[in-house]
Chains A and B, each alone.
Chain A
């Protein structure tokens, strides 16, 4: 696989689209609509017409304007087009049906959808969904797209650890071995490598099939310390301490006994069939001083490693961030409460800790006031869905973001949220069931994630040009480039 966009269609027969195109029995297979439609909705399958690819349909309004409306042109009045009633059942406030569909489209093509869909914001009524980018009225000069830099630096401490520059202002959130299929893990890791950024092992150990991606993997040290070995810590360039996660801030994890298969047990150095608890918190860390011992412990094993500290967003998140910095962290990673991919109690996701949109500016401002902001990398996650969310998070004060759910959606997750039910994910993503896991190949998965990132990068470049900036690094903390719909 090479680093380029390749069209990677859905694994399912019908992609869900905004419009539903129905071909009636009056159709005489004259194929006039194949000529009429410039979007490829209609096609001939042998002697007959194929079931319309209605997810490509841009809708009656646009087609009527351009004289390409198949319904009007069909000599047999066999076609009808309407808003797809199915999309009512798809999506939710944060990930609307249009966000899901436009993300699928980007993962398929590497481009923004041609269909008129809201691909930038959801419908949650707050935070990112109420923020908009604000552009200067005049720009000093036109910047060529090729001159725009989307890379960020992960080590700002100027110490002896690695200097790492990633080409996109994003890396991937951890998803543990056993929580998603091997193919999902490899696909994501591969896409990360092709984009010169990082994947993450999650807390479930470091499986051998990820060894080829060592230079682009982060390994996680979480409260259960599952699969953490000197050898795994030494494999990587970045080690992430997971103190808390946004989906269940302040809560531990529980891997059910039947999920602890032979392989999972071996990886986690546990016994097959016995439930595993990740406690909360680290029972060895009750202060910044304890935390520093942790960081020193990693640095003793792997002196060149960057240390990332993944924390949730309590009221005093600014104190947590500054403490983490002084304990030696290179990266402070704030995980807001509305994100996460894994199964978590609904009550925690909804109620515990603050949304990331509040945490980023709070921490950014505090680190600036303390005079250390330029010596630490601030990463945000927990509800980053689109390229525009990335830009807004950076304008609020982050250096970059971590992506999780969006990458799942690229793999055709519908966010049905039943990751834990029965045999696992019905879409073959978050499952260890061999039959379900075979629904997806690495080739397909890696390309879908690659394409999504490609589309995001293009949007980031286009927006930076409109902002008159040559580098994403210029946008950090530039809240003057944002407006909020609730404020004048």
Chain B
């Protein structure tokens, strides 16, 4: 058995005071100056450790306050009050919500799984990935004890073409050559960032993190520069189909990815004839045509198809109702299964993968692995303010990031995601992430449960 995979987290405190959820309001007039002020009795010493960053106008208390209300309720004159910090609510957008940003910051800082008491706090279900639950096993089905137990749960995947069958000649020798495979220990590839102050420091942080976790990272001709040379075996150049095979950014890489174009198979052939050891992937936009395109590419011998949605997880269609990545992906996967060719091709999916649970959910919906982007930037303290999009300065000065520190933040996030992937797989009773792929039977979908339960009871159509 190979050495057990492990990611080691190291705490990496934020460089800037994070924007907090609370807004503590302190009307100091009327204060009685009690000798045992409630502020001194704060269990978390948030008043003692209070700091204010005048440059970014952020008060540390808003991030450190745990919302216990003890000071608010015990101050004799009631001069303390609290509410939600409007700056917190303004972070992100309708998909990348403030809670997602907070959750990611915590993991990037600590490498730990977010844990809390007193039950679940969110909505019953929601759009996108929130409309599915993963399954667990007990008594009547075997379970896997991943985190605490004796069982090793593998999160590795192989990227590349899988042979449908092997032919042998009369002498018993295999007649075909095995196609190249790239094994990554975590089913995650770092995607190009959709926006952000992507200077050398951010790129280096990502590359160094990819190396530490044994993973891969896409690089475009625009971001490639000689400083990335030490990381060639981590890089997956994302290139135009007609790129010169001798370009420096293609030397020493294990995999390349081409943008889809109608004549793409010829270009794949060209690249493969130059270097057959390199896996070639095709990046295909998720839309209603993706399933026929993916099937055609698979039949044409393509090794990997990367299906990408927009950064909020919506497919690319004109009109108001794009499908979410989970549904569009299931459609492609199911089509390939029905065509009996699913096992031959590797599917990578990207777009809207925001939280650790989205990774196994995307895999259940049919991907072999996922490419992630914005979570990496958020791990580097990005507040998703998108000021950079209009050329304004970055509030967390990503251009001045120390790559070693940035890499650690990303490694911490991946450590936490890895632990959570194992938690969900252990509960599902699956020991190898390759077996999670397409296992819709180990998930429960909102629309199915709702129909089978309340639809059966209350009849008729839901409103």
For A90, what are the chain B residues with a Cβ–Cβ distance below 8 Å? 67, 69
- Chain B residue with minimal CB distance to A84? B81
Give Cα A341–Cα B120 distance, bound, in whole angstroms.
9
Central interface residue in B21, B137, B456, by most chain A CB within 10 Å:
B137
Does chain A have a CB within 8 A of B75? yes
Does chain A have a CB within 8 A of B453? yes
- Chain A residue with minimal CB distance to B356? A347
Asked if B70 contacts A350 (CB within 8 A), the reply is no
Does chain A have a CB within 8 A of B262? no
For A341, what are the chain B residues with a Cβ–Cβ distance below 8 Å? 117-119
Asked if A418 contacts B68 (CB within 8 A), the reply is yes
Central interface residue in B76, B115, B118, B459, by most chain A CB within 10 Å:
B118
Asked if A280 contacts B116 (CB within 8 A), the reply is no
Does chain B have a CB within 8 A of A77? no
Asked if A416 contacts B66 (CB within 8 A), the reply is yes
For A285, what are the chain B residues with a Cβ–Cβ distance below 8 Å? 139
CB-CB under 8 A for A347 and B140, given A94-B119, A361-B457, A426-B66: no
Contacts of A297-327 to chain B: CB distance below 8 A: 311-312, 314-316, 319-320, 323-324
Does chain B have a CB within 8 A of A371? no
Chain B nearest Cβ from A55, distance in angstroms: 10
Does chain B have a CB within 8 A of A286? yes
Give Cα A355–Cα B458 distance, bound, in whole angstroms.
18
A-B contact pairs, 13 of them (CB 8 A): A13-B78, A94-B120, A251-B423, A281-B143, A344-B115, A347-B356, A348-B427, A352-B134, A414-B68, A416-B69, A418-B66, A487-B458, A487-B460
With beta carbons under 8 angstroms apart, the residue of B66, B124, B355 that contacts A126 is B124
Give Cα A355–Cα B81 distance, bound, in whole angstroms.
35
With beta carbons under 8 angstroms apart, the residue of B122, B147, B449, B455 that contacts A92 is B122
With beta carbons under 8 angstroms apart, the residue of A93, A354, A426 that contacts B43 is A426
For B82, what are the chain A residues with a Cβ–Cβ distance below 8 Å? 86, 89
Does chain A have a CB within 8 A of B44? yes
Does chain B have a CB within 8 A of A218? no
Asked if A16 contacts B426 (CB within 8 A), the reply is no
Give Cα A338–Cα B133 distance, bound, in whole angstroms.
12
Chain B nearest Cβ from A381, distance in angstroms: 11
Does chain B have a CB within 8 A of A405? yes
Q: Would you give the 0/1 interface string for A420-453, flagging 1 where the beta carbon is closer than 8 Å to chain B?
A: 1111001100100000100000000000000000
Does chain B have a CB within 8 A of A213? no
Contacts of B32-88 to chain A: CB distance below 8 A: 43-44, 66-70, 72-78, 81-84
Asked if A280 contacts B139 (CB within 8 A), the reply is no
Does chain B have a CB within 8 A of A64? no
Q: Would you give the 0/1 interface string for B411-425, flagging 1 where the beta carbon is closer than 8 Å to chain A?
A: 000000000100110
Asked if B143 contacts A250 (CB within 8 A), the reply is yes
With beta carbons under 8 angstroms apart, the residue of A250, A357, A358 that contacts B428 is A250
CB-CB under 8 A for A354 and B120, given A244-B136, A323-B139: no
Does chain B have a CB within 8 A of A43? no
For A31, what are the chain B residues with a Cβ–Cβ distance below 8 Å? none
Asked if A350 contacts B134 (CB within 8 A), the reply is no
Asked if A315 contacts B135 (CB within 8 A), the reply is yes
Report which B residues bind A (CB closer than 8 A).
Answer: 21-23, 43-44, 66-70, 72-78, 81-84, 103, 113-125, 133-143, 145, 147-149, 355-357, 361, 420, 423-424, 426-429, 441-442, 444, 449, 452-463
Report which A residues bind B (CB closer than 8 A).
Answer: 10, 12-16, 51, 85-86, 88-90, 92-95, 124-127, 129-130, 243-244, 247, 249-252, 254, 277-281, 283, 285-288, 291, 311-312, 314-316, 319-320, 323-324, 337-355, 357-358, 361-362, 383, 405, 408, 413-423, 426-427, 430, 436, 479, 482-484, 486-488
For A426, what are the chain B residues with a Cβ–Cβ distance below 8 Å? 43-44, 66, 68, 70
Chain B nearest Cβ from A401, distance in angstroms: 14
Give Cα A314–Cα B428 distance, bound, in whole angstroms.
9
For A13, what are the chain B residues with a Cβ–Cβ distance below 8 Å? 73-76, 78
For B424, what are the chain A residues with a Cβ–Cβ distance below 8 Å? 347-348, 351-352
CB-CB under 8 A for A129 and B138, given A416-B68, A487-B462: no
With beta carbons under 8 angstroms apart, the residue of B117, B143, B454 that contacts A344 is B117
Chain B nearest Cβ from A20, distance in angstroms: 8
Asked if B70 contacts A12 (CB within 8 A), the reply is yes
Give Cα A285–Cα B74 distance, bound, in whole angstroms.
50
Give Cα A343–Cα B138 distance, bound, in whole angstroms.
21
Asked if B454 contacts A93 (CB within 8 A), the reply is no
For B21, what are the chain A residues with a Cβ–Cβ distance below 8 Å? 89
Asked if A124 contacts B123 (CB within 8 A), the reply is yes
Give Cα A422–Cα B64 distance, bound, in whole angstroms.
13
Give Cα A414–Cα B69 distance, bound, in whole angstroms.
8
Give Cα A316–Cα B463 distance, bound, in whole angstroms.
28
Chain B nearest Cβ from A246, distance in angstroms: 9
Chain A nearest Cβ from B412, distance in angstroms: 16
Asked if B119 contacts A338 (CB within 8 A), the reply is yes
Give Cα A28–Cα B44 distance, bound, in whole angstroms.
39
Asked if A14 contacts B73 (CB within 8 A), the reply is yes
For B427, what are the chain A residues with a Cβ–Cβ distance below 8 Å? 249-251, 280, 348, 352-353
Asked if A423 contacts B43 (CB within 8 A), the reply is yes
Give Cα A97–Cα B120 distance, bound, in whole angstroms.
15
Inter-chain CB contacts under 8 Å: number = 283
For A348, what are the chain B residues with a Cβ–Cβ distance below 8 Å? 423-424, 427
Chain A nearest Cβ from B272, distance in angstroms: 40
Give Cα A169–Cα B133 distance, bound, in whole angstroms.
29
CB-CB under 8 A for A85 and B72, given A346-B116, A486-B463: no
With beta carbons under 8 angstroms apart, the residue of A125, A277, A351, A484 that contacts B124 is A125
- Chain B residue with minimal CB distance to A362? B453
- Chain B residue with minimal CB distance to A253? B148
Chain B nearest Cβ from A326, distance in angstroms: 11
Asked if A320 contacts B140 (CB within 8 A), the reply is yes
Chain A nearest Cβ from B411, distance in angstroms: 19
For B69, what are the chain A residues with a Cβ–Cβ distance below 8 Å? 16, 86, 90, 414, 416
Central interface residue in B145, B356, B455, by most chain A CB within 10 Å:
B145
Closest 9 CB pairs of A and B: A250-B427, A126-B124, A419-B117, A250-B136, A12-B73, A487-B458, A417-B116, A92-B121, A426-B68
Asked if B70 contacts A345 (CB within 8 A), the reply is no
For B423, what are the chain A residues with a Cβ–Cβ distance below 8 Å? 251, 345, 347-348
Asked if A286 contacts B123 (CB within 8 A), the reply is no
Give Cα A320–Cα B140 distance, bound, in whole angstroms.
6
- Chain B residue with minimal CB distance to A341? B118
Chain A nearest Cβ from B38, distance in angstroms: 9
- Chain A residue with minimal CB distance to B357? A351
Asked if A350 contacts B122 (CB within 8 A), the reply is yes
For B43, what are the chain A residues with a Cβ–Cβ distance below 8 Å? 422-423, 426, 436
With beta carbons under 8 angstroms apart, the residue of A250, A436, A487 that contacts B138 is A250
CB-CB under 8 A for A421 and B426, given A13-B74, A339-B119: no
- Chain B residue with minimal CB distance to A383? B119
For A320, what are the chain B residues with a Cβ–Cβ distance below 8 Å? 138-140
Asked if B140 contacts A287 (CB within 8 A), the reply is yes
For A243, what are the chain B residues with a Cβ–Cβ distance below 8 Å? 138-139
For A319, what are the chain B residues with a Cβ–Cβ distance below 8 Å? 140
Asked if A345 contacts B454 (CB within 8 A), the reply is no
For A93, what are the chain B residues with a Cβ–Cβ distance below 8 Å? 121-124
Chain B nearest Cβ from A264, distance in angstroms: 17
- Chain B residue with minimal CB distance to A395? B457
With beta carbons under 8 angstroms apart, the residue of A16, A85, A127 that contacts B73 is A16
Asked if A484 contacts B84 (CB within 8 A), the reply is no
For B23, what are the chain A residues with a Cβ–Cβ distance below 8 Å? 89
Give Cα A38–Cα B245 distance, bound, in whole angstroms.
86
For B68, what are the chain A residues with a Cβ–Cβ distance below 8 Å? 414, 416, 418, 426-427
Additional pairs, 19, CB under 8 Å, beyond known A129-B124, A252-B147, A487-B463: A86-B69, A86-B83, A249-B427, A280-B149, A315-B444, A316-B140, A316-B141, A338-B119, A339-B119, A341-B117, A345-B114, A347-B424, A350-B122, A351-B357, A354-B444, A415-B119, A416-B69, A486-B454, A487-B459
